[in-house]
Amino acid sequence: MAKKKMNAKAEFVLFNVLYEDGSVTSNRKVPSSAVGTLDGDAPIREAIEEQDREIAERSGRPRGPIKSITRVA
């Protein structure tokens, strides 16, 4: 009988992001591997900033600097 392959499901943690211009994005997915590291919030901020760069490349509209990041309960 053939074995069924186990799919490694990537788990994410959701965050709301407030930008310095007052705009907000909700439920931004960050890999759980970036959360809870010894580096504090730096890996989370880096992951979201990388997503923002990719979105800006596609849309042609850059995002402003991040003011705060809040984990969704």
Q: What is the mean pLDDT of residues 14-23?
A: 95
23-69 pLDDT, tens per residue? 999 999 999 888 877 777 889 999 999 999 999 999 999 999 999 99
Residue 20 near residue 67 (C-beta atoms within 8 A): yes
Output the pLDDT for position 2: 64
d(CA 4, CA 16) in angstroms, rounded, equals 37
Residue scoring higher pLDDT (33 or 7): 33
For 62, phi then psi, to 5°, come to: -75, 150
Output the pLDDT for position 73: 83
